[in-house]
Amino acid sequence: MNFNFKKYIFNITLNAYSLSVIYFLALYFAGATPDEETTTSGSFILNTFAIFFALGTAAEVLLGVLKIKTLGEQLFARPGVPIIQSNAFWKTQLYFILLLTLVASFLMTKVSIIDLIDESGFLGAMRLFKGIFSPNFDILPKAILAIIETIFIAFLATFIAVPFAFFLSFVGAKNIMKGPVAFSIYMALRTFLNIVRSVEPLIWAIIFSVWVGIGPFAGMLALMLHSIASLTKQYSEIVECIFDGPVEGIKATGASRLQTIRYGVVPQIVLPYISFTIYRWDINVRMATIIGLVGGGGIGTMLIQYQGQALWREVGCIVVVIAVVVWLLDTGSAYIREAIK
Amino acid sequence: MSTETAKEVKREVKLEIKNLEKTYDNGVQALKGVSQKVYKGEFLAVIGLSGSGKSTFLRCINRLNDPTAGEIWFEGEDIAFTKGSKVSMTRSKIAMIFQKFNLVGRHTVLSNVLMGSLARTSFIASMFGVFSSEEKEKAHKYLALVGLSEKAEIRADQLSGGQQQRVAIARALMQEPDVLLADEPVASLDPALCHTVMDYLKKINRDLGITVLCNLHHLDLVQDYSDRVLALKDGLKVFEGESSEIDDKWFKEIYGEEARRVH
């Protein structure tokens, strides 16, 4: 099996990407950008993809025939397979693609200095800043109560997530799941967790606020789900990094598989687990604030209410409370994590 | 020849390995058909260069590696291809110590020794880390045997290399094994500490009657401690005999022409 799949997929995608960017940039600078009606039609997108992937493949074949060392070859070179001809083409390719992407990003982002220094816009922002920087501390007790709610939401989400993540972390660790059956379970779990993790907690909060109604419970559920997925991944990585020695030592005494995990693996992972858990709580407090914006309860919900009424001095007070709590937690958790290393 | 046959008749065979082969997934052929009888109560040294297959040889016996072909006869049963709990049972009777000790560093010395009793501890009790007072007594007894009684409550990773290896020996003894496999037990120790560890191995071999198979690098240690020697080269057996029979001719045969003995 000498066919280097990764290299070809990478190169073809890269070629298709660069050629299409060149094409559309050329159209843009020539003032011939196709109108929106054309570009948003399904067939246009499909055709463009098909054409540029065909061109990308052709380019890859051509580069291969000319024996030019491409970026893909540099990245995915197989050990033992000698590189036929070494030249600097891949470096030029790398810089060229970076430049293309930078130009395209500027155009896509619609970067405009004029908007940034526009007077009325600037004055509006200043008004907002003025409000925020002269906070109205009359609502401080209310804000403190709200942030306490946020901290507890985050704590409960973390607390419930830990036991789930603890057990799943072994199933999600490659060095534990050896053998064909175990490996397919591992792959299934990893895929599932990646999907859960790739959906932002904000989206989960929206889903749960429909499910259980707007409020702290929905926010907690969203954070819990995200925490299970994230913690499992982080825990699994710790399990994958353990030393094999003690595991082998226990195995050699005739201990069963679970006993081997209990005595060979667990002692090695406990402290890093605690450290990651504290960090996750810290992250969850910050996330709970954001989730509150879509109705997950706590300080976020309070913030969005005042923001909606353009009460900037009250918003300022809430921002101060959030900043203080986040800073305290951040520092505190860093100290604790340092201490248990 | 006749004397050797007479000896075989007289002594009980503890382990009989027949045509043992091991090919790793990456294609490396570590063992190419090694046969060896191990007699009850003997101290058998296994020697050879790095990569000669001696480590694989030991690790196949307690099934830390699965052999590719061959037979391993132990207590009237071929254990080369057993599965599941049978493998654990074999391991509990054939203990092993390692070059890097393989202790659980964060646990105490006593706890490490107790881990040798896991195979006979009930699942629930072992999950909660509960060991009977009987087992604890035994653990103390074996710690005393390796001269580490006063270190019982210290974390294992705070001991010196030599002491850690002695804890590993106590853990192995805790299994109450018939056979002890020692994979380069002194290779990562200070030469000065080598003899302490080797002395303990010899002691349990002589006093407890445990059969010892020991991989060794140093020829002097082979001659000082072992009864018999098995030499491997490129996965094949090139010599078997009394330790005293290893002379310079054999030494060159085993280690290659350029090798020189270190004294």
Phi, psi of A145 (to 5 degrees): -60, -40
Whether A263 and B104 lie within 8 Å, measured CB to CB: yes
Plot region of A33 (φ>0 → left; ψ -120 to 50 → alpha; else → beta) = beta
What does the block give as tokens for B155? 């974390």
A216-226 pLDDT, tens per residue? 899 899 999 99
- Cα distance from N-terminal residue to C-terminal residue, chain B: 32
For residue A136, the model assigns a pLDDT of 87
Domains in chain B and their CATH numbers? Answer: 10-104+177-255 (3.40.50.300)
**Among B91, B134, B101, which Cα is nearest to A259's?**
B91
pLDDT (tens digit, 9 = 90+) per residue, A1-48?
A: 467 788 889 989 999 999 999 998 898 888 877 777 777 777 888 888
Nearest to A253 among B85, B92, B107 (CB): B92
A193 Cα to chain B: minimum distance (Å)? 27
Interface test with B, best of A170, A181, A253 (most B CBs within 10 A): A253
Give the pair of three-digit tokens for residue A307. 């923001």
In 10 A of CB A290, how many CB atoms? 16
CA A322 to chain centre: 23
Q: Which CATH number fits domain A132-339: 3.40.50.720, 1.10.3720.10, 1.10.1060.10, 1.20.1050.40?
A: 1.10.3720.10
Average pLDDT, 10 consecutive residues per value, chain B (263 residues): 50 92 91 94 91 93 94 94 92 95 94 95 92 95 94 93 95 96 92 89 94 90 91 91 79 70 57
Distances, alpha carbon A50 to alpha carbons A47, A54, B160, in Å? 5, 6, 66
Q: How confident is the model at residue A86 (pLDDT cuts 50, 70, 90)?
A: low
Q: In terms of pLDDT, which residue wins out, B256 or A169?
A: A169
pTM of the model: 0.73
Instruction: Give me A238's structure tokens.
Output: 């710790």
* Residue ranges of chain A that CATH labels 1.10.3720.10: 132-339
Q: Quick one: how far is CA B141 from the chain centroid?
A: 21
Q: What is residue A78's DSSP assignment?
A: P
Residue B91 and residue A259: Cβ atoms within 8 Å?
no
Q: Helix (H, G, I), strand (E, B), or coil: what is residue B83?
A: coil
Condensed to tens digits (0 to 9), the pLDDT of residues A233-290 reads 999 999 999 999 999 999 999 999 999 999 999 999 988 898 899 889 889 988 888 8
Among the partner-chain residues B92, B105, B123, the one whose CB lies closest to the CB of A254 is B92
